[in-house]
Amino acid sequence: MQAGGDAALEAQDLVFMYDALVALRGVSIRVGAGEAVGIVGVNGAGKTTLVKVLAGFLRASSGSHTFLGREMSGVSARRHMRDGLVLVPEGRQIATRLTVEDNLTIGASCYGWRRPEAAAIAFAYEVFPELRDHRARSAGALSGGQQQMVAIARALVARPKMLLLDEPSQGLAPFLQERLAGSFHSLQEAGITLLVVEQNLSFARQCTDRVYSIVNGLVGFDGGWEQFVAEGGLIGSH
């Protein structure tokens, strides 16, 4: 799906500073409902800061963002999640001593539930069926790829309308990246909008419709992948 139609997420002129360091210098993006959009750029460009602002974990110095038409600036991260905007953080950040199913249960905590709805757990296992076989195992005993599945499945239990995924392919072998990209297509088919932050351009191209590049805290490119490559995008360098 290309940009257009109703917007799921819009950000206008976001600025964020870490003390004297300006991480975002006026970033504006738009993600249409049902789209999968990539955010690419080198390490330190501002990508992770951007998604943390969009998810409510950081508060922008100026600018604003809306989700499904609602102003979200200054709204807590828990409120973002309850409204359906859920972050899958870089590095997975799962509870390695807990079982897979206990990790998934944590996904419902933003609603104050002790147990998530059975349908939410069932959907997570439908997207990642191999986790069902490991649901009683310690998450720390799983492979890196399976742990990434747990992190995303946990987010799915929060019943997201949109997922923000920060470096989901990090540390994964190419065949696991391909499987993960396939699961993202399944999420789109289920009506979930995706914003995928990646340094791995080949992976990002597999699982997103179009791309923004962030360069020194600014949007350096906004468009389709073919145009990105034609204008010097480094597809194939990862």
Which sequence spans correspond to the domains of the chain? 1-84+160-238, 92-159
| pLDDT over 50 (residue 34) | yes
- Per-residue confidence (pLDDT) for residue 130, from 0 to 100: 87
Span 116-145, mean pLDDT? 87
Give the separation between CA 133 and CA 33, rounded to whole angstroms.
33
Residue whose C-alpha is closest to residue 203's, from 178, 231, 233: 178
| 156, burial (CB in 10 Å: exposed 0-12, middle 13-18, buried 19+) | buried
Span 154-177, mean pLDDT? 90
Give the model confidence (pLDDT) of 56-89 as tens digits.
999 999 999 999 999 999 899 989 988 999 999 8
Work out whether strand 36-40 and strand 210-215 pair parallel, antiparallel, or are unpaired.
Answer: parallel
Query: In this structure, which CATH number among 3.40.800.20, 3.30.70.3270, 3.40.50.300, 3.30.43.10 belongs to the domain 1-84+160-238?
Result: 3.40.50.300
Task: Average the pLDDT over each of 9-18, 89-98, 213-222 and give the range with the smallest value.
Answer: 89-98
Confidence bin at 145 (pLDDT 50/70/90): confident
Span 213-220, mean pLDDT? 94
pTM exceeding the 0.85 threshold for the entire prediction: yes
Is residue 214 within 8 Å of residue 45, measured between CB atoms? Answer: yes
Of residues 233 and 185, more confidently modeled: 185
| pLDDT over 50 (residue 25) | yes
- Per-residue confidence (pLDDT) for residue 167, from 0 to 100: 92
Longest Cα separation, the chain: 51
State whether residue 12 is helix, strand or coil: strand
- Per-residue confidence (pLDDT) for residue 2, from 0 to 100: 43
- Per-residue confidence (pLDDT) for residue 3, from 0 to 100: 47
Task: Average the pLDDT over each of 59-73, 93-107, 184-198 and give the range with the smallest value.
Answer: 93-107
Percentage of the chain beyond pLDDT 70 is 92
Is residue 208 within 8 Å of residue 36, measured between CB atoms? Answer: yes
